[in-house]
Structure 1
Amino acid sequence: MNWSIAFEPLLSWPVLALLIAPMAVLALASLFMRQRGALLRAAAFAALALALINPVLLDEEREPLQSVVAVVADRSQSQDIGERTDTTDRAIEELKARLGRFRQFDVRVVEAGRASETDDRTETRLFAALESVFRDVPPSRIAGAIMVTDGQVHDLPATAEGMPGPLHALITGDEDERDRRIRFVNAPRFGIVDKPLEMTYRVTGSGEDGEPVDVRISVNGQQVAVDRAIFGEDMPLQITVPGAGRNIVELAIERAEDEITDTNNRAIAIVDGIRENLRVLLVSGEPHAGERTWRNLLKSDAAVDLVHFTILRPPEKQDGTPINDLSLIAFPTRELFVEKINDFDLIIFDRYQHRDVLPILYYDYIAEYVEQGGALLVAAGPEYAGNQSISRTPLMSALPALPTGNVIEEAYYPRLTETGARHPVTRGLEGSGQEPPNWSRWFRLIGIDRPAGHVVMKGPREEPLLLLNRNGEGRVGMFLSDHGWLWARGFEGGGPHVALYRRIAHWLMKEPELEEERLTAHGRGMTLEVRRQTMSDEAGPARVITPSGATLDVPLVAATPGIFTGTATVDEIGLYQIANGDLATLAHVGPVNAPEFAETVSTEEVLAPLAEETGGSVRRLAGFAGRLALPGIVPVRSSGDASGRDWIGLRTTSDSILKSVNRVPLFAGFFGLALLLLAFSAMWYREGR
């Protein structure tokens, strides 16, 4: 029972003041002048005032509230080291059992620190979880928090402000743990292909400063060198970026005998390879309607350095013009096709025909250039079917098809072949998904015989229109129509000439994204995504090797023609090896050089200042012979100590819920009336004597 007195006046307080004030003055005056019956008069006036104020005796029935205890279990990846997970599980179960014996505590257990499937963060964020537990709890009801963790917490608040209860940390792991780690100090995000890239790294270890250690250096899964590093010192590293696109640089050191984990014995840097400006030689025949289409496209590409020559005056042209009046320059054939031919990434012959501008021997040089890894594109016109066709030169050994001599002159829609629907150069070309295609017609096609390579576009009568072929180490493309400029000029709505021409050029120059057979993978959060690009009808499953050496198969399903994808949810951070058919690649899941593994040795030092500030404590769970050294739990008042040598305290609250109220008016009914009558009768009796 909780008894209290409340006042429920019969009149408003201002009115009561007007009534009681004169009575109080009269009573005080009588007492001051020592009149007869002054005390009885004062008592009668007091009884009347109390009757008007109406005091009420209240009996409140209350139910005490529980104090909220937060038990936070650290489930971060560093807790998987050694026996930490088992220790955490045992400690949590024992804490729940002990706290369950106290009726005054509301125990809330929360697990934190494990990254989600889509979350790239791998930090141990225990205080964010603690905040979510106490979000709906008033400060007066917070008993405190108990964290079971290895002590490596990454969202530690600067001060204990806002934490009304004590913080207790129970540390997993052993006190004498050792670990060594390698990390990049300076790792540029981009590098130029085939050029050296300067990087810096450091190896650290417990008590090993100044000692040497061997570091294996791998690029895209291939070991390229072994470096000798000194513990605790920044070490220079120079690598050569092998190719365009993503490159994974990995540093690794051997695991020591007493080391708790080798997860952080590897460091990863992802370097995007960027090619220096690609050099393209464009040689056009006599001026024609579509001559500037290729030029405009290549000039607009910031990654391309273009050298363009147009044969305006062939050698056999003799019109008597004085030499001094000619503004044309001599075609530097020897410089371009002998001395500097290997400096070009692509050579384009745009409606070019053999008219003795190039010596016949130079075509041999071009064929050899392709055989050794160069790229050649023939944009054919009627000249390719004539007597002066470049197919009648030594270049024929590099060409994917020879002309039949026929030139088809009729309207037709360029269409993708079945192969072209899967080939990355033409796959998904805008407008190709309907019949007829949503682009304009062309009106000319050069006939060829026995094409080699992939026929990715076709013209009328199923005749080949676009050929893509590999020749030795190089590549050759052949466009068998000169009417692509109709798309560029917007004829009948135009067509996707920019995308098509650019893809052709970059495929010839070996752009990785346009390879017919390509396997790529990357991590998104804790999900591994695999993508297979192939010309086959099926891709089969991808075999994945996890950082710990386990294997799993990821089924690949068709997403679009020529593209197969698959995903797998994983729980390890690190470098994954993926293989499908003859192809293999690497992918890193989780953040590169994750903070979770920056420090893996269990520690009391991180949480100690904050726990001390809140009145809590930090202690290890490791006891004798593998037993848990779990402290006792003691309920304490808000002003008492919250920790001792072998116990931890949790504060209890005085908050309660009001269930019901019983009212007993003190001056109500006959009792109040009798008291008033008695007081006034005594006053009149005394004053009447």
Structure 2
Amino acid sequence: MSDHLTRLTSVRFQPLLPPWLLYVLAGLCLVVTLLALWRRSGGAGWRGLCFALLLLWLAGPMLAHATWADLPETLLLVVDRSGSMAVGTRAAMARHAVAQVEAEAARMPGLAVRVVPVLSGTTTPAGGEQAGAGGTRLMGAIERAAADIPPGDGGSRIAGIIAVTDGQVHDVPALPAPGRKPVFPPGNPDVPLHVLITAAGEQTDRRLRVLQAPPFGIVGQNVTLRVEVEDLGPHPAGDTTATLTLKRDGDTPIQRDVPVGQPQDITVPVTRPGPMLLALQASTLPGEVSTLNNQAIVQINGVRDRLRVLLVSGAPNQGERVWRRLLKADPSVDLVHFTILRPPDKDDTTPLNELALIAFPVRELFQEKIGQFDLIILDGFENRGILPMSYLRNIADFVRAGGGLLLTAGPEFIGPGTLQDTPLGDILPARVPEEGGLVEQRYQPMPTALGSRHPVTEGLPQTPPPAGTAAGNAGWGPWYRALVADPSQLSAGAQVLMTGPQQSPLLVLNRVDQGRVALLLSDQIWLWSRGEGGGGPQAELLRRLAHWLMKEPELEEEQLTAGISDGRLTATRRSVSAAAAMQVTVIAPDGSRHPLDLAAARPGPGEPVAAGVASAGIDATAPGIWEVTDGHNRAFAAARPADPLEIADLRATATALGPFAAATGGSTHWLGGDPGRPDVPELQLVGPHQRAYGAGLQAVGGRDWIGLRQHGAHVVTGEQADRLLAGWAVLPLALLLLLLAWRREGRG
């Protein structure tokens, strides 16, 4: 491998005639000469020599003088810097090994070293290859680096490839047929691949694999996970069981012993709607290289099977069609709807079988099966002895036990003996007086300050602008009838989200023990569906009301959420109160606690300030489940590895690259256990088809050695050609030979 100039002299031909014509003449001369020899003609030999001399001259023999320069050959030094190389002392050992190889290669003339890093992330300008979600793509990085090195006139310019890695490579090509050597990199035959593994020998690792995990689960039912604990590499015999720990959303961990190498089914109950994080961890295997892949995180979203809603309309009205269309359009809702066509006190001669298709099953609905419903809607329901007091008390108990009640009220809600005077009155959030309780006038429903922040009414389409501000949005369409509740008689904790005439409460929500109640003090929301005065968001408002009553997590007033992205946890607290700043506690997977001060969220350009929203971030690189709590609410987030394939097997091993390296004529070497002094083999230059590696006794000093192939690549720098036979010399000589042939023939 030198860069000096080399001179070579050779003979080449530059015919004076087309080759085909030259071949024809040669054939004719041969026939004539052979015929003369067969007839024993005198001078046949001299005549043949003349023909040969003329044909040689016509072939144009040239004496060529060429000079070329040897091209430097390249050593590709591939350095694995993917995620698995961060385990233990591998990265430090790799740095020292690379430094030794570069120092030794620098002493070899004509050898250039090109370092090719293989990173986890985006492709680097130096030729690094993305590991990312696809694992370590080391062979792809070699191919790209080799494509930038054009071959020389003598063949490949790549003397060899040395890969410093832990052996966890996920794009190793398939081996060729037995007896055949792979051409790798493509277009560069006979390039040996040598692998330097950053360990003293094959390592042991235990990993936990989630074979099957459903993304969704029905609330109140169980889901089944299938997992498997595997032990990889050499490990002591008899390790047949492992302890599997399951922790759900920060609850008390559950442990069980499972056999190693056998899939196991784990049953987990789904207790609430929304995301549920499960952390699974396998016990440590003695001597394993890392416990990073002993754990796994599974997220299961709890969903309700079907929401069971009971809708009772006190009389046929314009609004019941709105309710029915809304609830029937939701595939997750089972609707039971009854309309009271005739109250019990009305006596006429109409046969009962002509009043309704089925009888109103009062006892079955309000005593035997009331606990099977999630929400009860009383739409314009007038109490005229239809439901006995015991059944109304059952509805109140149903709410206190965790159910939802939505009541839309009209004129039937005021006066003596109405629902306000029954056991239901104890759970209703507002009371309407008999005198002056009904107002019939045109008015526009308006959100309150609380309503502008409450998830039920925040951001509804066509929301009216605040009073005193100029805006192009005219707001919601008008209603013409409302009940006026006494603001001083609101229940404790009642939330007024909308106001009606004279700013009286129009939509009031409240929590009652474990359940929830919503009271709409007007029976004219159906006007929005008809487009009265531009209409309004009737469908969206009723949908949100129903889902808030059924405790959907995204409609909670006080929300605490957490998420992890790019190694950073973001905690966000949403509150209906105007105060945004507060402090939460972040609990890491190892149990350490970190206080975090939340600040008011900054809106984007042109966006309104979101009152009651505060957030902050903190570094969260440790894998596992992180918990955020404000003392009342808790939120969880999972920190997962950026590249699951990269940590699936954390052993340093020769099983992946070893066979392929041997097929190329290369070798595999272990760097030992001292990261500061790795056992790097000696570099030697070998010729084509020579052995490219050797054991310690075959090298000076007893070190193992690896060979770099000398291909002799070069580039021609100059060329000169001179004619060997000049015409002025050939013609006299040819005449002399013909003269000798004539004289010999004359004597015969």
Deviations 1:534-578 (A, max 9, x none): 435635687656657786969774457366677778655544444
**Which residue pairs with 1:97 in the alignment?**
103
Is 2:435 aligned against 1:378? no
Is 2:216 aligned against 1:190? yes
Output the CA distance in 2 between the equivalents of 1:271 and 1:120: 25
Contact 1:209 1:231 in 2 (8 A): no
Output the CA distance in 2 between the equivalents of 1:493 and 1:108: 72
Is 2:571 aligned against 1:538? no
Closer, same or farther in 2 for the Cα pair 1:662/1:322, shift >3 Å?
A: closer
Show the 5 A alignment for 1:469-618.
Answer: 469-489=510-530, 494-522=535-563, 532-535=573-576, 536=578, 538=580, 557-558=601-602, 561=610, 573-579=623-629, 583-590=633-640, 594-618=644-668
Deviations 1:30-49 (A, max 9, x none): 67767676666555555554
- Give the CA deviation at 1:250: 1.7
Output the CA distance in 2 between the equivalents of 1:574 and 1:473: 33
Output the CA distance in 1 between the equivalents of 2:322 and 2:229: 55
Contact 2:462 2:473 in 1 (8 A): no
**Which residue pairs with 1:640 in the alignment?**
690
Closer, same or farther in 2 for the Cα pair 1:604/1:50, shift >3 Å?
A: same
Closer, same or farther in 2 for the Cα pair 1:3/1:477, shift >3 Å?
A: farther
Deviations 1:634-687 (A, max 9, x none): 2323412122111112323233333x33332316xxx72432344245346546
- For 1:661, the aligned partner's letter is G
Contact 2:564 2:620 in 1 (8 A): no
Select the residue among 424, 444, 451 that pairs with 1:395. 424
**Which residue pairs with 1:149 in the alignment?**
165
Is 2:113 aligned against 1:107? yes
- Structure 1 residue ranges without an equivalent (≥5): none
Output the CA distance in 2 between the equivalents of 1:544 and 1:70: 47
Contact 1:183 1:593 in 2 (8 A): no
Select the residue among 413, 421, 424 that pairs with 2:455. 424
Identity, % of aligned positions: 39
- Give the CA deviation at 1:174: 4.1
Contact 2:243 2:255 in 1 (8 A): yes
Output the CA distance in 1 between the equivalents of 2:259 and 2:62: 84
Output the CA distance in 2 between the equivalents of 1:83 and 1:537: 49
Output the CA distance in 1 between the equivalents of 2:262 and 2:742: 110
Q: Secondary structure at the match of 1:520?
A: strand
Q: State TM-score, norm by structure 2.
A: 0.80
Provide the aligned length of Structure 1 versus Structure 2: 685
Select the residue among 82, 85, 93 that pairs with 1:79. 85
Select the residue among 140, 149, 152 that pairs with 1:128. 140
Deviates more, 1:678-687 or 1:188-197: 678-687
- For 1:503, the aligned partner's letter is R
Q: Secondary structure at the match of 2:363?
A: helix
Q: Secondary structure at the match of 1:290?
A: helix
- For 2:457, the aligned partner's letter is T
Q: Secondary structure at the match of 1:403?
A: coil
Q: Secondary structure at the match of 1:121?
A: helix
Closer, same or farther in 2 for the Cα pair 1:332/1:591, shift >3 Å?
A: farther
Contact 1:578 1:584 in 2 (8 A): yes
Output the CA distance in 2 between the equivalents of 1:443 and 1:272: 43
Deviations 1:595-639 (A, max 9, x none): 433332322233322222222222211157963111112232341
Deviates more, 1:30-39 or 1:221-230: 30-39
Q: Secondary structure at the match of 1:148?
A: strand
Contact 1:403 1:448 in 2 (8 A): yes
CA RMSD of superposed structures (Å): 3.9
Select the residue among 268, 271, 278 that pairs with 2:307. 278
Contact 2:199 2:673 in 1 (8 A): no
- For 1:87, the aligned partner's letter is M
Show the 5 A alignment for 1:193-592.
Answer: 193-205=219-231, 206-207=235-236, 209=238, 213-255=242-284, 258-323=287-352, 325-327=354-356, 329-385=358-414, 389-403=418-432, 405-410=436-441, 414-432=445-463, 435-436=472-473, 440-450=477-487, 453-459=494-500, 462-489=503-530, 494-522=535-563, 532-535=573-576, 536=578, 538=580, 557-558=601-602, 561=610, 573-579=623-629, 583-590=633-640
- Give the CA deviation at 1:480: 3.5
- Give the CA deviation at 1:179: 4.0
Q: Secondary structure at the match of 1:373?
A: coil
Closer, same or farther in 2 for the Cα pair 1:351/1:521, shift >3 Å?
A: same
Output the CA distance in 1 between the equivalents of 2:620 and 2:74: 35
Closer, same or farther in 2 for the Cα pair 1:228/1:245, shift >3 Å?
A: same
Deviates more, 1:280-289 or 1:364-373: 364-373
Output the CA distance in 1 between the equivalents of 2:707 and 2:595: 48
Closer, same or farther in 2 for the Cα pair 1:457/1:167, shift >3 Å?
A: farther
- Structure 2 residue ranges without an equivalent (≥5): 1-6, 124-129, 177-181, 465-470, 696-703, 744-748
